[in-house]
Structure 1
Amino acid sequence: MIEKLAAPGTGGVDALTGSDLLASIRASRDLENAEAARQLDLAAQWADLHPPESIHSAAAFTVPGTDHEEPLAGEGCPLVAEFCVAELGTVPGISSTSAKKLIGHALELRHRLPRLWAQVQAGHVPAWRARSVAEATIHSTPALTREAAGFVDAQVAAVAGRIGPAQLDRLVAETIKRYDLAPEDPADPAADPEDGYLSVDPRHATLHDEDVHFAGTMRWEAELDIADSLDLDKALSRKAAEQKALGSTESLDVRRSKALGDLARTQTALDLASGGVEARSARTSTTEDGLPAAREVVLHAHFDAGTVGETTVFGPTGRLEEGQRLLLLDQVQSWCGDSRTKVTIKPVIDLNTALSTPGYAIPDRIREQVILRDRTCVFPWCTRPARGCDVDHVVEYDHQAEAEGRSQPGPTSTRNLACLCRFHHRLKTHSAWRYRVTGPGAYEWTSPHGHRYCRDRTGTRPIEPDPPARP
């Protein structure tokens, strides 16, 4: 075994042994865990600085959309002023949703899982393990009382946080049964007084849309009833065999995957109920038997195109607006080759052309241009798709300007409009957060504590403060 390893670029002068490298990696991991524990503690302290009493308008009156108190963790944890999560998120470069989770986990651990909290702060349990437990106790259905959460805390702390997801699910289910938190439902076939785990229905079908493979696939995870599982398995096997008989040379796994997609587009439930009666036109909402027709799925695909002679040539890769994912041109061509796919090609919108209207209302053509330009909510590190966002006047529209003979300070123009999700729209309107346009699709944000961020089509980056002038 080779013990001596030369550090890169040193020519072997300052060689490190294998033992030295392993010790350094362990020390680095210990430091990482310590800093993660410290971040949890700081997040809890940030919540302490922003109780409901910190909302100035709370004592007087409430305006719709303004800051309000919000529970971020379970019963017994303090409430927090909703808007405070935004600034905590922007400093480490995470979304407001992630910041809300961080604060919620910190409060849940400190107030309802104190044994586990102490082990995290002592360095005995990694913060990520403790946060997974906090996530489970916060979002348990039905909700855990403070006493029930304490039982989970004692069990998990006894094994120093070394508990897997399946064990944690069973522990929470046992806790629900032990503390009689589940409502009695004699008609529920899964309710078994001898087995607390079975009293919680484990069935689900979950799309992991955050995990997108480079080949353009996403992962499904499901827990089905036994009969449903066997029926689905037979249906996929039959469809996969049909594909092979029609000449498909793809693997069985690929054919079964394609069969599952086919089930989403064909009305299997209708076939079983009506003996194969076809649905009426997709334009109608119900079939002849009164069952709902298959729902149309709309995807927005964007590709750059150029002209070679008289031929339009598309780039090999594009962007799927739903989820801001990479899309291959070959995939779109395969979708379009399916006779059941309806393709709509919209006119090209020049994102560099400034559009405006004299009124306050935003016409569809301007709204569409702003959506295509911004792609997502333009708040720092927010990834909410623009199509589900509000379109905000960056400089507020003055409804009295025309009547009073003044020029409009906040025109309805693409140069003064930006996409903001509802939370960040409220934040901008009712808090000290401010932003301004610095270029087409580019914005500079300033937080209540003076931190500045640049947000453009490439993402978010902090703007470092100018160094103090030398005397």
Structure 2
Amino acid sequence: MEATATGNAPELGDLTAAELLGVARHESVVVQQGEANLLAVAYEWAVAHPADDDGWNAATFHHPLGDEPISGDGTPLVAEFCIPELGAALGVSTDAAKKLIGQAIEMVHRLPRVWKRVQSGLVPVWRAKQVAEATIHCDPALSPEAMAWIDAQVAPFLEKIGRAQMERIVAQAIELYGLAGQEHPRDEDNDGRFVHIHTPIGPFAGSMHIEAEVSNADGHDLAQALSAGAAALRAGGSTASLDVRRSMALGELARQQTSLDLAGADAEDETVQRKARRVDLHLHFTAEVQPDGTTGISPIGFLENGQKLVLLSQVRSWVRGTHTEVRILPVIDLNEQITTNRYEPTDRLRRQVILRDRTCVFPWCTRPARSCDLDHVEPFDHEAAGEGRPQPGPTATDNLAALCRSHHRLKTHTGWRLTSPSSGVFEWTSLHGQRFRRDRHGTQDLTDDPADPVPSRFP
């Protein structure tokens, strides 16, 4: 078989079926070993950046109910601000890099047999990550003896372990080593009830999946309310199926939901005040020139809540429904330069920057801009006006950037440098000289390739 002019490998289109399978098997092995090597790199990066002895700067996952460690009990703590550097190099978010480092630490220190098998390159890395995630987040926390037992049970069969089987093994370890009593006791306030509203999958936000576990009384009440609502819709002329009408009735219940105005109600009066709740959906549609030369609204817009696309026809159906309040905010020109003499941006300036940036502008970060801080790229000088000096860091469109709290702290307290050559364009330089550009098209890695190649295999 002849080689191509640009290299020693033949064109894939010239290979036989058997040769294509051979290439597929070879590339699969290369990818698997590469993922194992990446885990080893993540671990060595963590070793090189330990947290302080008191652990105040240790990396954690932040949740509304408290912080959660990135790896299991007894494992070394890692410095928080080292993680964005690795994530940026890998082209992933800081949270994804945090998870990768935590999984590597968990395997090395609490699942050594699993780690050894992964580093052999003979088992899928994703299965080992699945095991590490199960043990990191186990409640109650697993003792060293329980971890050693799990490691021995899982490692020989790592390529066959599924999620359900892993859950059974962890449950067995909890029972075997007497850890069950450490679980939070179940009572009337902690009995397994929940409501999950899942973020829609796919580019368009046409519907959402809701999953719930409720008490028998609440379940029967809800079923009757949905049946009554579906019947009312049918009587009103709806030709939709029963399932669709029940889902529509659930939406009507949500829009009519009321709460007690305890502050305004008379304690001796049994009459309660009813207050309707409002949900704001931030929708953005742009005007565009049609083929016939007229100007119309694009049929596809952007739903800021959830970072999804939305069809104009869907919005029309929403606003036609009852109990829908539509607020039209003034159109904001994203190319306009807005400035204020104050430190805090005006509402209009804030909305402009949020719409322009859409997410945190740190490389690969996807946290919505609406929940971010607006940071001055060039710091605002609070003494400049009083001393008669020009303001070096004005509160203006081209000097503001949306930064989530984590990356705002990173910019403030570390050696990461941020510049903005033009409005909406941000260039970052890391402590180790990595360079990235973030603009409306996403993140671009500007880091020069290293002069010396890095070996693709580790000893």
TM-score (norm 2): 0.82
2:86 is paired with a residue whose SS is helix
**Which structure 2 residues correspond to residues 399-414 of structure 1 after superposition, within 5 A?**
399-414=382-397
Say which of 157, 161, 181 aligns to 2:155: 157
**Which structure 2 residues correspond to residues 154-303 of structure 1 after superposition, within 5 A?**
154-178=152-176, 179-183=178-182, 188=187, 203-209=193-199, 211-212=201-202, 214=204, 216-223=206-213, 236=226, 239-240=229-230, 242-267=232-257, 293=275, 295-303=277-285
**Which structure 2 residues correspond to residues 13-32 of structure 1 after superposition, within 5 A?**
15-32=14-31
Cα distance in 1, alignment partners of residues 221 and 275 from structure 2? 22
The one-letter amino acid of 1:94's match is V
User: Over residues 287-327 of structure 1, what are the superposed CA-to-partner deviations in whole Å (9 max), with x where a residue is unaligned?
Assistant: 97659855422111011125899x97321011011122101
Task: Quote the residue 1:389 is aligned against.
Answer: 372
Task: Quote the residue 2:345 is aligned against.
Answer: 362
The one-letter amino acid of 1:45's match is E
User: Is 1:321 the equivalent of 2:304?
Assistant: yes
1:154 is paired with a residue whose SS is helix
User: Is 1:84 the equivalent of 2:74?
Assistant: no
1:212 is paired with a residue whose SS is coil
Cα distance in 1, alignment partners of residues 171 and 155 from structure 2? 18
- Whether the aligned pair in 2 keeps the contact of 1:302 and 1:320 (CA below 8 Å) is yes
Say which of 421, 435, 441 aligns to 1:438: 421
Where structure 1 has 5 or more consecutive residues not aligned to the other structure, the ranges are 1-6, 191-199, 271-278
Q: Which moved more, 1:130-139 or 1:372-381?
A: 130-139
Task: Quote the residue 2:335 is aligned against.
Answer: 352
- Whether the aligned pair in 2 keeps the contact of 1:386 and 1:420 (CA below 8 Å) is yes
- Whether the aligned pair in 1 keeps the contact of 2:204 and 2:311 (CA below 8 Å) is no
Task: Quote the residue 1:4 is aligned against.
Answer: none
User: Over residues 135-177 of structure 1, what are the superposed CA-to-partner deviations in whole Å (9 max), with x where a residue is unaligned?
Assistant: 2221222333333333333332243252332333333333334
Cα distance in 1, alignment partners of residues 411 and 373 from structure 2? 12
- Whether the aligned pair in 2 keeps the contact of 1:285 and 1:293 (CA below 8 Å) is no
The one-letter amino acid of 1:332's match is V
- Whether the aligned pair in 1 keeps the contact of 2:140 and 2:179 (CA below 8 Å) is no
- Seen in structure 2, the aligned counterparts of structure 1 residues 292 and 449 have a Cα distance that, compared at 3 Å, is farther
The one-letter amino acid of 1:305's match is A
The one-letter amino acid of 2:209's match is R
The percentage of aligned residue pairs carrying the same residue is 51
Cα distance in 1, alignment partners of residues 437 and 377 from structure 2? 15
Cα distance in 2, alignment partners of residues 411 and 13 from structure 1? 56
Cα distance in 1, alignment partners of residues 185 and 426 from structure 2? 57
Task: Quote the residue 1:47 is aligned against.
Answer: 46
The one-letter amino acid of 1:87's match is E
Task: Quote the residue 2:108 is aligned against.
Answer: 110
Cα distance in 1, alignment partners of residues 215 and 171 from structure 2? 19
1:205 is paired with a residue whose SS is strand
- Seen in structure 2, the aligned counterparts of structure 1 residues 442 and 219 have a Cα distance that, compared at 3 Å, is same
The one-letter amino acid of 1:141's match is D
The one-letter amino acid of 2:313's match is D
The one-letter amino acid of 1:261's match is G
- Whether the aligned pair in 2 keeps the contact of 1:144 and 1:181 (CA below 8 Å) is no
**Which structure 2 residues correspond to residues 58-69 of structure 1 after superposition, within 5 A?**
67-68=57-58
- Whether the aligned pair in 1 keeps the contact of 2:418 and 2:426 (CA below 8 Å) is yes
Q: Displacement, 1:363?
A: 2.0
- Seen in structure 2, the aligned counterparts of structure 1 residues 182 and 29 have a Cα distance that, compared at 3 Å, is farther
Cα distance in 1, alignment partners of residues 135 and 206 from structure 2? 34
Cα distance in 1, alignment partners of residues 310 and 334 from structure 2? 21
Q: Displacement, 1:451?
A: 0.9
- Seen in structure 2, the aligned counterparts of structure 1 residues 285 and 130 have a Cα distance that, compared at 3 Å, is farther
- Seen in structure 2, the aligned counterparts of structure 1 residues 210 and 50 have a Cα distance that, compared at 3 Å, is farther
Cα distance in 1, alignment partners of residues 27 and 243 from structure 2? 41
- Whether the aligned pair in 1 keeps the contact of 2:12 and 2:20 (CA below 8 Å) is no
Q: Which moved more, 1:357-366 or 1:407-416?
A: 357-366
The one-letter amino acid of 2:108's match is R
1:73 is paired with a residue whose SS is coil
- Seen in structure 2, the aligned counterparts of structure 1 residues 300 and 184 have a Cα distance that, compared at 3 Å, is closer
Cα distance in 2, alignment partners of residues 364 and 337 from structure 1? 29
Cα distance in 1, alignment partners of residues 318 and 245 from structure 2? 16
User: Is 1:305 the equivalent of 2:295?
Assistant: no
TM-score (norm 1): 0.80
How many pairs align?
430
User: Over residues 4-44 of structure 1, what are the superposed CA-to-partner deviations in whole Å (9 max), with x where a residue is unaligned?
Assistant: xxx9xx99997433222222222222221111111111101
Q: Displacement, 1:231?
A: 6.0
Cα distance in 2, alignment partners of residues 467 and 280 from structure 1? 64
Superposed CA RMSD in Å reads: 3.7
User: Over residues 358-403 of structure 1, what are the superposed CA-to-partner deviations in whole Å (9 max), with x where a residue is unaligned?
Assistant: 2322222221211111111111111111111000000011222233
The one-letter amino acid of 2:99's match is K
Task: Quote the residue 2:457 is aligned against.
Answer: none
Cα distance in 2, alignment partners of residues 47 and 33 from structure 1? 22
- Seen in structure 2, the aligned counterparts of structure 1 residues 146 and 429 have a Cα distance that, compared at 3 Å, is same
User: Over residues 405-461 of structure 1, what are the superposed CA-to-partner deviations in whole Å (9 max), with x where a residue is unaligned?
Assistant: 322211111111111000000000000111111222111111111111110111111
- Seen in structure 2, the aligned counterparts of structure 1 residues 359 and 241 have a Cα distance that, compared at 3 Å, is closer
- Seen in structure 2, the aligned counterparts of structure 1 residues 409 and 144 have a Cα distance that, compared at 3 Å, is same
